[in-house]
Amino acid sequence: MSADLLEPILWAIGMAVLAAVLFTGIGLISGTDETATVAPIALLVILLGVPPAGVIAFFLAAVIAKHISHAVPTTLLGIPGDTTAVPMLREAQLLRALGVPHLALQKAISGGVIAVIIAIPLSILFALVLTPFAESIESAAPWIFVAAAVLVAYTSKGKLAAVVALTAFVLLISGLQAFILDQKDATFTTSFFLGIATGPLIFDLFAGLSPAGRKAMRQEGKREFALAPDVPRSGGRIPNPFTVLDRTQLTYTTGSAVITSATFVFSPVAMAVLMGEIAGSRIKNGFHRLTTVATVRNATTESTYIAETLIPLIAIGLPLSPVAAGPAAPLFNAPPVYTLDAEAGTTNNLHDLLTTGQFALFAVIAAVIAIVIAYPFVMTNAHRAATWVMRSVSHEAIIAGFAALICVICLYEGGLLALGVTITVGLVGGLFNRMIGMHAGVQFMGYYVAVLTVPAILAL
Amino acid sequence: MPHLIEVWNDTVDSRHLTGGIAISVGIAVTAYLVADHLFAAAGQTELGHSYALLFGILGCILGAVITGFLFKPKRVITSPTTDTRSRQEIIDEIVEEYGDLGDPRELPEAVQAEVRALGLFDALLENHRHHVADDGGSARETDEQQ
């Protein structure tokens, strides 16, 4: 190993440890959406001048650790740990009712670990295959994205309504972007993502302000949560994901990780739903289906995040995937450190600063550290951690923290105008989410349709 | 309690929420603006802007911690041992929503061992037998519906 590489490796190790510890904790708190937590903190890491090795390791370790610990509130309490945990909620709740939530948890996170092991080499391999075609992908992107957006919208809860509402949402984004360009001679990104990610929260806060809304939101008493009892794990002291899963589950987890390492234009939530359906439809025994679907869905949250980050970073340099457009956006564009000129197609971001070999090295470092920290911790302390969060952390504190985060990040990106953009996007997006079942995944696709496809259509 | 409302999938007291947001936003925005101003005054605009963001985020965390100390969670944590329903009733409910949970004897060896270790084997088997016995009746019912 050359001495030149020693310093980046130390950065990668240090930042991965920091991210793994921080996001294992954040994942335990329900509702902490990936985009609203990972993106701003990754942005901060970049702006503080952490070198590229530390940035990529930080980001990957953060999402891997968070997707391991988000299974704790999802399986033990029946409330989703974050947006990608929503698809496995039903199976988790049923297994909880059967009195075996610890089994659901252990299966889910073991699936996640295996998906990480598969997705890292495969997505790098896939990126290498795609690199020669980067230019044609770039020119086809506007059309791929609009097709994927429509498909994802149609497979969401909203079905046709979500597809039609996509038009309104895309035009809203286009209009806001044009107004921002007119006023500030700049474009915003984070404000839009933050608005989409926290849309349901912003919508609820507004509804709470209106007398009619408050009436509908009124609760008779404190909400009851049934915390499943702790069951000691059998077997060795150090958990092994390969023994927690049976052969069928290993096969489907591997298969879905392989598929989702290639389908990088679809939103992770949509892929988690789809992969779970495919695996579930092929398993005859109902009980076995429950545990396998929970495993595959959580595995998909890991593999999609890794592939959708690494493939655009290595092959293209433009954020051409829903993850790259959302939580990973700062890795592509964080002015003044990383820059991206969408019109000219010129970039100066991680794509230009790291070689494929370096991406592979730092990704492996991040994955190993995140798994070593998060997996044994969650396997052994899940119950204690979930109890502490539920008993001690008030929902008021979480919402207050998010409200402050929205204000600070918007003021940072573009002053009061950016704050207005986040509130507008959040209010409309939250309304669409709550009322017509158009989830954040569809809306992120909508953002990229507005940025990529709308100009391409107008240029026809 | 008259002020309890549901926001973002959990229960809060609307007065506590308003207070918490005021505290956190107040601390965080003040921290960010003051830091940004001081860094700019010191001549560090580019990097100073990002350091100001760090102060702002620290302000968010401080605000959330203060809010957490002031206002306690509005949750009641129960343990499911208070659930008096029998296991078969619960399984029946799950079957109604999800479909038949199946015959545990058909599972591969390793999975069977897992189900036994969980103490679910007999309950699943009993439920399956019950369903097989019912099958004749329910098949006729669906025929009539068509």
A190 to chain B, closest Cα gap in Å: 13
Interval B53-71: pLDDT, tens: 889 989 999 999 999 999 9
Of A30, A229, A394, the CB nearest to B72: A394
B-interface mutation test, from A194, A281, A396, most B Cβ less than 10 A away: A396
Q: Is the Cβ pair A99, B5 closer than 8 Å?
A: no
What is the rounded average pLDDT of the residues A213-226? 84
- Report how many Cβ contacts below 8 Å link chain A to chain B: 238
B37 to chain A, closest Cα gap in Å: 12
3-state secondary structure chain A: CCHHHHHHHHHHHHHHHHHHHHHHHHHHCCCCCHHHHHHHHHHHHHHCCCCHHHHHHHHHHHHHHHHHHCHHHHHHHCCCCCHHHHHHHHHHHHHHHCCCHHHHHHHHHHHHHHHHHHHHHHHHHHHHHHHHHHHHHHHHHHHHHHHHHHHHHHHCCCCHHHHHHHHHHHHHHHHHHHHHHHHHCCCCCHHHHHHHHCHHHHHHHHHHHCHHHHHHHECCCCEEEECCCCCCCCCCCCCCHHHHCCHHHHHHHHHHHHHHHHCCCCCHHHHHHHHHHHHHHCCCCHHHHHHHHHHHHHHHHHHHHHHHHHHHHHHHCCCCCHHHHCCCHHHHCECCCEEEECCCCEEECHHHHCCHHHHHHHHHHHHHHHHHHHHHHHHHHHHHHHHHHHHHCCHHHHHHHHHHHHHHHHHHHHHHHHHHHHHHHHHHHHHHHHHHCCCHHHHHHHHHHHHHHHHHHHCC
Res A270: pLDDT: 82
What is the rounded average pLDDT of the residues A274-293? 92
Q: Is the Cβ pair B68, A393 closer than 8 Å?
A: yes
Q: Tell me what the pLDDT averaged over chain A comes to.
A: 90
B95: pLDDT confidence band, cut at 50, 70 and 90? confident
B143 to chain A, closest Cα gap in Å: 23
* List of chain A residues whose C-beta atoms are within 8 Å of the C-beta of residue B60: 401, 404-405, 408
Res A115: pLDDT: 97
What is the rounded average pLDDT of the residues A348-356? 92
| In the predicted structure, residue B140 carries a pLDDT above the cut 50 | no
* List of chain B residues whose C-beta atoms are within 8 Å of the C-beta of residue A234: 117
| In the predicted structure, residue A1 carries a pLDDT above the cut 60 | no
Of B14, B75, B106, the CB nearest to A285: B106
Res B90: pLDDT: 81
Q: Is the Cβ pair A49, B1 closer than 8 Å?
A: no
| In the predicted structure, residue B77 carries a pLDDT above the cut 90 | no
What is the rounded average pLDDT of the residues A314-330? 88
Nearest residue of chain B to residue A227 (CA atoms)? B79
| In the predicted structure, residue B145 carries a pLDDT above the cut 60 | no
- pTM (predicted TM-score): 0.87
Nearest residue of chain B to residue A415 (CA atoms)? B33
Of B23, B29, B71, the CB nearest to A394: B71
A231: pLDDT confidence band, cut at 50, 70 and 90? low
Interval A18-42: pLDDT, tens: 999 999 999 888 777 888 889 889 9
What is the rounded average pLDDT of the residues A146-173? 92
Res B2: pLDDT: 64
